[in-house]
Chain A
Amino acid sequence: MSRLMQWAAPLSMLGVAACGGTKPVAPGQRAMATGDVQSAALATYVKPGDLDTYYLFYSGGHSGQVFVAGVPSMRHIATIPVFAPYPGTGYGFDEASRKMMGDYTWGDVHHPALSKTNGDYDGRWLFVNDNANNRIARINLRDFKTAQILGPIPNTMGNHGSSMVTNNTEYALVATRFSVPLGSKYESLDDYATKYHGAFTGIKVDPKDGTMSVGWQIMTPPFDWDLGATGKGPSDGWAFWTSYNSERATGKLEQTASQRDRDYVAVVNWKAAEQAVNAGKTFESGGVKMVDPAKVPGVMYLLPCGKSPHGVDVEPNGEYVICSGKLQPTSTVFSFKKIQEAIAKQDFTGNEDGIPVIRYEAAVVMEVPVGLGPLHTQFDGKGNAYTSLYVESAIAKWKLPPYAPGTDPKSVVLDKIPVQFNVGHLVVAEGDTRHPQGTYLVAMNKMSKGRHLNVGPSIPESSQLIDITGAKMKMTYESFTEPEPHFAQLVRRELIKPIEFYPKEENKDPDAVWNPQDAKVVRHAATRTVEGKVYAIRSYFEPGRIQVQEGDTLVLHVTNAEQSRDEIHGFGITAYDKNIVIDPGETKTVKLVARKSGVYPYYCTNFCSALHQEMQGYLEVVPLGQVMGLYRNNQGEMFATSQQKAAVAKRDVAQR
């Protein structure tokens, strides 16, 4: 009989293959959901007009963006461009955002982190890292816009272990992924083990306006630093990062960096680092004050952890630190108290470049056999931890310490749920704060094959919503996203308070215009620059005609004079690869060189009103040698034709 069973499986597999998998069924033929499925559907259903309970901010990976969705509906609400141009909001086309992006047109967003007060989210800012170009950005949640991009951060290559926000947003902490010679110098890769270094950076955050600046750095051995976490409660003031390649290898790291059975977790006292900086115990590299932890004891320790760890996470009470070795089927629980005792007793087994290595047995509480390929852990605030299992494609729920003496590690694992497929990060509502919500968990899967209509070779990522309120986890919903979510923050909607439009009084742009009469275009013949103040309102631009000479540089400051929600105007210029989008009450500047003579219509790109289509004007680029024909006053100000000007004046009188 058992033999039969063994045969049945492969034969049925072949059967499935022969039929080409599940047959598509017309919508009308879909079977009615029943039982658990039906209640799951109801649990995630947000009826038209109703609001979701949570904001989900997830990183867009190499798309350079941040996505915003509502939970539990999982509906995508907004895309916040950070490191990549986004014509949808005109980001990367106006002068301010172009300047902010620097010379880069992409970034690799990995780990969004919300600002915190007393270890809980305060809903002010969202920090995101750029793994590619060593930068960090701050999104202001007042308007859901990127407010600042800082970087490239010196001595850093690959800002991956970031953005870890400290308990009161004193710092956003950063770890370099790739070790390099300090100060952007050249050293041969043959000298990797001795002449290359990693760095942890404290990005200082202004408590009032959130402005970021590079504070200080800690020099580290040349490991590859991976994910980090900041302490809370008793471990406040400390930070933890995992590393791979403690072998200090180069070349095919897949192999060369997988030879040791244990790599390290960095245990960093960032407050001690701050004190060392204030006490002047630093050297300078790349213009940054740097601490050498070998010379300043108490700043950094190393703690062995399971092979090739990826995630490290601190539970809500701040006592237990969980580190997961992706090549070891266990999550290792360390006690912060035990770590401190080991440090006090100098219970070390050696050092790496002068940094003490804490004896593993002195700090470990338990190796929990969660499953294959454990990566990241989040918490529900009810004493449970949730770990994503990449290889196994599952989420494991397990009990946090304290454990009774002699507890069987297997008994600690409470539940497991499969996800589709290859889960990377997971996020529990406020799961990295002191007070997690314990309601929803979102599994961010790297693969989604067969879960949606076929869209060719490149398929979306899948995000699955899991209900964690009961003893058993329940899969309730799945949605799909563009490349490529990594980590996310899931936060109660009450904590985020965005504005509805920019109040006119707040607009400090000297080139803003609030009246069509103030709109004007001036040509500076000496610099061959045409500068204009453009007024935009439903449904016209003033001026509706702009004239430049071929070769002139055109700078336009466009003000959206609306004070009403969602009355957004775009300003797209045909054939010139320019589109800026201006929110109500905002002024944006666009610049171009009028290289090609001809006539180029400009028009409103963001649907605004019934006469949206009529909201247009012409940019005349007069060929060299031909006289410009616009009306000009004594100051050289250039207007639309006098007839047009008169018409505008007449209309404004009529409107009053």
Chain B
Amino acid sequence: MRYLIVNRRRLLIGAGILAGLAMVLPLWGMTLVSTQYPEGLRMVVYSNHIRGDIDEINALNHYIGMTRIRDGFFPELRLLPLGLGLVAVGCLFAALVRRIWADLLPLTLMIAIAGYGLWSMAHRLYQFGHDLDPTAAIRIAPFTPPMLGQNQIAQFATYSYFSWGTFLALGAGGLVTLALVADLATRRRPSRRPVGAVSPTPSGVPA
């Protein structure tokens, strides 16, 4: 606990960096493997764009009438980087302002983003597997690609997995939570000064 309290600011700065990194690292991925594609076809979702063999996946998916995945298609990918950016700024802000609400700000934002992200993803996956063009060449039963794990669609084994960005965002959340715990712990003390902290500067402005 003492360690947390001493390093509270570092925790928050660390959380800010992790959230910032989550903005630019892949969050989620899907790999499709079949005999013809032993090397796998990948779709990798970043906070603000999608990468991978999207054109090839689109070309294959059109046989069963799935919607074409294309750039600027997901409004989520405009909100996500903004949200993560706010979280990062919020973390740094909380590092400067030692208030409980300042810790709660990025944490709440983070939970909201995670909730929104997961919900919209589940929603998208359902949509993609269910809004099939009724005039498509091959008609198959609607399906939902898994968010996590494996399933088989036609000749393709599909593997879905969360990636570094998500883990780092989770880590950022953990760090902010720890900082919050530290703040809550020091709050019960009569002195608002953390144990072992240096004296206030003569001007009285907290460093």
Contact = CB atoms under 8 A, between A and B. Distances in A.
Given A6-B149, A6-B159, A259-B135, A447 B36 contact: yes
Interface in A349-389: 372
A478 interface: no
A223 to B, nearest CB: 17
Given A10-B31, A255-B136, A372-B155, A16 B39 contact: yes
Most buried by A among B31, B36, B150: B36
Contact of B36 (A6, A327, A421): A421
Contacts of B38: 450
Nearest to A328: B138
A330 to B, nearest CB: 14
Nearest to B151: A6
Interface residues of B, number: 23
A447 B137 CA distance: 22
A327 B138 contact: yes
Interface stretch (A162-170, A265-273, A391-399): A391-399
A6 B160 CA distance: 9
B40 A420 contact: no
A209 interface: no
B33 A422 contact: no
B35 A9 contact: no
B143 interface: no
Given A7-B161, A450-B39, A391 B154 contact: yes
A130 B153 CA distance: 37
B35 to A, nearest CB: 4
A421 B35 contact: yes
Interface residues of A, number: 30
Which 10 A-B residue pairs are closest in the complex by CB-CB distance? A393-B35, A258-B137, A10-B159, A421-B36, A6-B149, A10-B161, A6-B150, A13-B40, A10-B31, A392-B155
Contacts, number: 58
B145 interface: no
Contacts of B157: 9
B119 to A, nearest CB: 22
A393 B155 contact: yes
Interface of A: 3, 6-7, 9-11, 13-14, 16-17, 21, 254-256, 258-259, 308, 327, 372, 391-394, 418-422, 447, 450
Contacts of A13: 31, 33, 40, 159
Contacts of A447: 36
B29 interface: yes
A29 to B, nearest CB: 22
B34 interface: yes
Contacts of A6: 148-150, 159
Given A13-B33, A391-B154, A21 B159 contact: no
B136 to A, nearest CB: 7
Given A6-B159, A372-B155, A447-B36, 9 more contacts: A9-B157, A10-B29, A13-B40, A14-B31, A16-B40, A256-B135, A393-B34, A421-B35, A421-B36
Nearest to B134: A259
A418 B35 CA distance: 7
Contact of B39 (A11, A21, A391, A422): A21
Nearest to A253: B137
Contacts of B35: 392-394, 418-421
Nearest to A21: B39
